[in-house]
Structure 1
Amino acid sequence: MTTSSLAVSECTLSSTTHANKSRHTFSSLKGKTFVVKLGGSTLEYQRMVLQDCICLHALGASIVLAHGGGPMINEWLTKLHIPICFQHGLRVTNAQTLEVVRMVLCGQINQELVAMATLLGGDVVGLCGTDGNIVQGHIADESLGFVGEIDAIHPMLVRQVIDDGYIPIIAPLGLAPNGSCLNMNADLVASRLASALQASRLTFLSDIDGIYGSDGSLVAEMNEAEAQTLIERGIITNGMIPKVNACLHALEDVPCVQIANGRTPHVLLHTLEDLPLGTRFVH
């Protein structure tokens, strides 16, 4: 069995009806680009997500996987007795914290994802936002330290990796004008990458089902006005604020933007079938 055949067989769904629908849905993937943001909180479910990515790639889609790593960064900061501080959902990053961020994102998480995807039969390449000047930015706020605000995305290297038949797996760091490294919010990197690549779909995988409204129920569809209202009321808070803003920004260029639960088996396949999963952002 070839690598591609193995990848497809591993994510074949059991229901005959569902499988028939899947074949119809997945028959027109060639030429489409899907950007997936794998949140740090869902890294323990990375195997299933990687299987879906490899399957869709084998079926003709161009897949770009961006990842975070907040919980693991926190673990290392705690081990090293370095204070953890957030402002408006963004990590305050001094020079010492930045060293840990770089070590965890590039030296640990990215390499582990590449190794696991390769073991599953995928053709993948690990990248960092500083490679090929993919993510260019500047310090967003002096009080946040080395936290970057994105000025530009240069997707040439990512496109080259895709054209060569690989899935790029990207760690969210960026370059400042002086060549220093910046800690970038992974949601915003995924959003801007999806726009730059003219992606057909951007999916944020988190450890929750989506966005919940004031009554505690899941919101299936959300527009910008509704999102801003929930932020003002303090219902959307902390790290969900930049995630929601990233979704709204991407919606300007990407037809389908969605937050879904990364713990759901074969969640990427289900979202492609437009099943009622997560929260989808609309104009």
Structure 2
Amino acid sequence: MEEREMGELQQALTKAEVLTEALPWINKMRGKTIVVKYGGSAMEDEQLMTQVVGDIELLKLMGMRVVLVHGGGKAISAMLKQLNLPVKFKDGLRVTDDATMEAVQEVLIGKVNQKLVWSLNEYGHNAVGISGADGKTLKAAPISPELGRVGHIREVSPELIETILDDDYIPVIASVACGPDGFFNVNADEAAAAVAEALHADKLIYLTDVDGLLADVNDKESLIRSLTKTETREILDSGELDGGMVPKIRSILEAMDRGVSEVVILNGKAPHSLLLEIFTDAGVGTLFTQD
């Protein structure tokens, strides 16, 4: 057998071994509900987005019920700069006055959501784009006057999401909620956690632009592979987390407090991190589990 043929045979054997390793995980996850929160730089890069969307489509074809919840912080900030509006954050949350809220709606609902829906539909499986305000799916209450129209989710009505799933579509949900007097900007991590809890999801996955939770934010080699709920709460209470990670870790704890058994932070910029986490023994990122 020629060297080229030997090389092609070895590649085929490697693929076969990967499929063999994935088989028990495919059987385990078929019919399960997975909520994926998508954000960060992985959503800004066209090539990366195409890859992530393809991976989500594969999960659907493998028989999983996939719900995609997204933010769009960088796109919102870019829009605010174009409009000469201030970009302000407090405790990791965007300060949102009425003008900023209009920009948030335009970006998340009118641009990012539709782009994700279009990309999924290009792969052949129909996706349905909604915002958390549609069907009063996400109901929020204002957090504080300092933050303006930033809300904390107080209730989730999952009926619309469940209808979309039962009709064999992929729900794509923008992190905008309805409040007592109109639309509210809600943290996408919190929105994903609340949706996961309401759907009794088997797994909640945060696709972001970091490898996971780092013991030292300046050392990429300090990735923490797994944490129990108690250990996670201790880290949050220590006050050592950087500001942007605080809402994410808080939402993870809330999700686990409400019954979600597993939560994972993955780097959406790493090739096929979503598939590696679900279909391989090793997994990637940081896994958060119940005690």
**Given the two structures, how large is their TM-score scaled by the length of structure 2?**
0.88
| Mapped pair 1:264 → 2:270 | yes
* Aligned pairs (5 A) from 1:109-188: 109-178=112-181, 180-188=182-190
- Alpha-carbon displacement from aligned partner over 1:130-166 (angstroms, at most 9, x marks no partner): 0000000111111100001111000000000000000
Give the Å deviation of 1:19: 1.7
The answer to whether the Cα contact below 8 Å between 2:138 and 2:155 also exists between their aligned partners in 1 is: yes
Separation in 1, partners of 2:281, 2:161: 27
2:3 counterpart residue number: none
Unaligned runs of 5+ in 1: 1-11
Code of the aligned partner of 2:285: G
1:89 counterpart residue number: 92
Question: Residue 145 and residue 274 in structure 1: after superposition, are their counterparts in 2 closer, same or farther (change >3 A)?
Answer: farther
Match of 1:240 among 245, 267, 282: 245
2:5 counterpart residue number: none
Larger CA deviation: 89-98 vs 33-42: 33-42
Question: Residue 183 and residue 13 in structure 1: after superposition, are their counterparts in 2 closer, same or farther (change >3 A)?
Answer: farther
Match of 2:284 among 252, 277, 283: 277
The answer to whether the Cα contact below 8 Å between 1:40 and 1:72 also exists between their aligned partners in 2 is: no
Percent identity reads 36
Separation in 1, partners of 2:284, 2:59: 18
Give the Å deviation of 1:123: 1.5
After the TM superposition, which parts of structure 1 deviate over 6 Å for at least 4 consecutive aligned residues?
A: none
CA RMSD in angstroms, aligned pairs only: 1.9
The answer to whether the Cα contact below 8 Å between 2:214 and 2:224 also exists between their aligned partners in 1 is: yes
Separation in 2, partners of 1:201, 1:39: 17
Separation in 2, partners of 1:202, 1:274: 18
Give the Å deviation of 1:41: 2.6
Code of the aligned partner of 1:205: L
Unaligned runs of 5+ in 2: 1-11
Separation in 2, partners of 1:152, 1:13: 50
Question: Residue 234 and residue 214 in structure 1: after superposition, are their counterparts in 2 closer, same or farther (change >3 A)?
Answer: farther
The answer to whether the Cα contact below 8 Å between 1:31 and 1:60 also exists between their aligned partners in 2 is: yes
Separation in 2, partners of 1:198, 1:228: 22
Separation in 2, partners of 1:208, 1:270: 16
Separation in 2, partners of 1:277, 1:153: 30
1:221 counterpart residue number: 226
SS at match of 2:211: coil
Code of the aligned partner of 1:279: T
The answer to whether the Cα contact below 8 Å between 1:220 and 1:276 also exists between their aligned partners in 2 is: no
Separation in 2, partners of 1:51, 1:214: 32
Code of the aligned partner of 1:88: D
Give the Å deviation of 1:232: 5.2
Separation in 2, partners of 1:221, 1:147: 31
The answer to whether the Cα contact below 8 Å between 2:236 and 2:250 also exists between their aligned partners in 1 is: no
Separation in 2, partners of 1:14, 1:157: 42
Separation in 2, partners of 1:192, 1:245: 12
SS at match of 1:143: coil
The answer to whether the Cα contact below 8 Å between 2:263 and 2:287 also exists between their aligned partners in 1 is: yes
Count of matched residue pairs: 271
Separation in 1, partners of 2:229, 2:21: 32
1:26 counterpart residue number: 26
**Given the two structures, how large is their TM-score scaled by the length of structure 1?**
0.90
